[in-house]
Amino acid sequence: MNLTRQQETLQNFSTVTKNGTTDTYTRVPPSSNMVLNNNENVSFAQNYSDGVLENLASGRNGSDGSVKWLSTELEPNLTENLLSRWLAPGGEPCRESRTVEIVIPGLDGKDLIELTAGDSHEFCFQALDESKNLVCSGGDYFETDLSGEAWKSRPLVRDFGNGSYSILLQVHPDFAGDYNLTLILLFRHFLGLKFSPWRFVFDKQLRKFRIKFVKGGTRLPKIGTCEKFDFNRDLWLGRWTRHAKNDGCQISNDGRYRCLAPDFPCQSPWCSGSLGMLEIPRRFDLNFSNPKDASQTVRITSIFNGHWNETMNYEGFNSLNDEGFRSLLKKYFSEDTVLDTIIMNSGLHECVHWHNLRAYSEGAGYAASFWKEVMDSVRQRGLAVPRIFYRTTIATGGYARSLAFNPNKMEAFNWVALDKFRRAGLVSGVIDNFDMTFPWHFDNRCNDGVHYGRPPAKMKWRDGEIGHQYFVDLMLAHVLLNALCSR
C-alpha cells in the first residue's frame, strides 16, 4: 500500500464510520460473531481522531460507583433480520468486493499499547478489499482472542453492516499485565453459512497486538456465585482465569492431569470448591443418591438429539419428524411426576443436515412448536411446567473451524434456535457454551474438533501429542449444576 492510498483510505474510513453508525449502542442487526446490542448510546464522532472510543465508562457505572462489565444481547426479530442481511443483494462494487485486510487507526503501528485495566476500550476498524478500497457490506466473521498469563477471553466484535466494525476490550484489575490481542478473519460476508463452507474459508491472521493493561482507579462489581437472574442473559461475555500452575505436571497413566494438590486453596471470589470428572453416554435414565443420605435422590435423563437413532448422526431438529422419537420424548412428560428442569441443546448435527439458514430457521421453528405443545400438555394436567435452560452449542476447534459446523455457522444457528424458543415462551435461562468454549477453539488441545468432553486417555491425540486437556467440559458440568441449583 503506498502512502497516498493509505491516507485516502483512512480519510474515507473516518467518514464512513461517523456517518454510517450514529447510534452504535442501539440494537444492531447481527452478523457472524458481531454483536448485537448494548445498552448505552455512543457516537463514533466521539473522540474518533485515532479510531478509539475511550469514553465508554460514562453512563455505565453501578450504584456503588463501579464500572459495569461489558454485555450484549440478542436483538428483537433476530431471525428475520439475519435472513435479510444474508440475502441482501449487492449492486455497488463496494458491496460485491470481499475483505482481505483491515485498518485499525487506534492500534495499527504501535509496538506496545497501554490500556487501563477495568475500563472498557473500543477500537473501530474498517474492512478493505484486495485493492485497498473500502468494503461497504458486513457479514465478515472475525475470530478474536485476548490472552495473558492468567486470563483468556473472546473480545466482543460489533458489525455495523457497512464494512465497519469495532472490538471491545476489558480486563479485571486483578489481572493487569501483558497480553496479546489476535484478530483472525475466518470467513467473509456470511460465507461460513454455506453448505460447503470449506471451499470459502479465508482463515488469515490479520493482526496480533501486544497490550499492557495497567491498574488504575477503576473498580468492577464484586464477583459472586451465579444466581437465577444471571442465567437470563442470552449471550455471555465470559473469561477464563488461572490462579496457579505447575509447569512440570505430567500426564498420569489414566490420562488425567493432577497438577495441584487435592487441598489446593481456591482463590475467592474467582472460584470455590474443586473440579471433578463427569463422563456419560449419549442416552441414559438413572437415579443418583446422596452418598451421605440415601433418602435424597435425583433422576437424570439424557436423550441424544443428533438423530432419532442414537447410533447415528446429522439429523438434529429434523429428528422430530420421526414419530417414534417424538413419542419417546413425550413419554417423559406423561408420567405421574414431570421433570423439574430441562437442559436443551441444538447441536453440530444441525449444520450438516440443513442446507441453508432459511431451512434451519424453519426446522428450529418446528422444534419450538413441538416443545410448546409438550409444555402446554403438562400445564393442562395441572402440573408445574419444567424450567427450560437452552444450552448453546460449542465452537468447533482446530481443523473443524472450516467444516460444515464451523463457528460462523454454529453461532448463527445458536442465535436462531434461541430466538425461536424465546418467542415460544419456552426459555427460563441460557447456558452459553459457545462463549465458554470459544477461547479454546483455535487448536485441538482441548477438543477433538467437535467434542470438548472426550474421556481422558494417555494416548496420541488429534494434535499429535499424548493425552489432551478436558477441563473445558468439566467446567460446563459445574455451570450446569449452578443453573440447576439456582433459585
| Run of H or E including 375 | helix 357-380
Q: Mean pLDDT score of the chain, rounded to an integer?
A: 86
| Buried/exposed code over 413-435 (b: 16+ C-beta within 10 A; e: otherwise) | bbbbbbbbbbbbebbbbbbbbbb
Domain assignment of residue 183, given as a range: 3-214
Same domain? 328 vs 422: yes
Boundary of a domain, candidates 190, 214, 238: 214
Domain annotation covers residue 366: yes
State the average pLDDT over residues 224-242: 92
Helices and strands, counts by H and E, the chain: 9, 17
Highest mean pLDDT among 244-248, 270-274, 419-423: 419-423
Domain annotation covers residue 361: yes
What residues form DSSP beta bridges with 241? Answer: 151
Domain annotation covers residue 372: yes
Domain annotation covers residue 465: yes
Same domain? 384 vs 474: yes
Same domain? 202 vs 247: no
Same domain? 438 vs 337: yes
Tens of pLDDT, residues 127-181: 999 999 999 999 999 999 999 999 999 999 999 999 999 999 999 999 999 999 9
Domain annotation covers residue 219: no
CATH code of 65's domain: 2.60.40.10
Same domain? 302 vs 325: yes
Same domain? 277 vs 162: no
Domain annotation covers residue 223: no
Domain annotation covers residue 14: yes
> Is the pLDDT reported for residue 389 higher than 80?
yes
Same domain? 164 vs 264: no
Boundary of a domain, candidates 161, 180, 214: 214
Domain count, the chain: 2
Same domain? 35 vs 146: yes
Same domain? 271 vs 420: yes
What per-residue confidence (pLDDT) applies to 284? Answer: 84
Same domain? 158 vs 252: no
Same domain? 176 vs 263: no
**Whether 479 contacts 436, CB under 8 Å:** yes
Tens of pLDDT, residues 291-339: 888 899 888 899 998 999 989 999 999 999 999 999 999 999 999 999 9
Same domain? 306 vs 358: yes
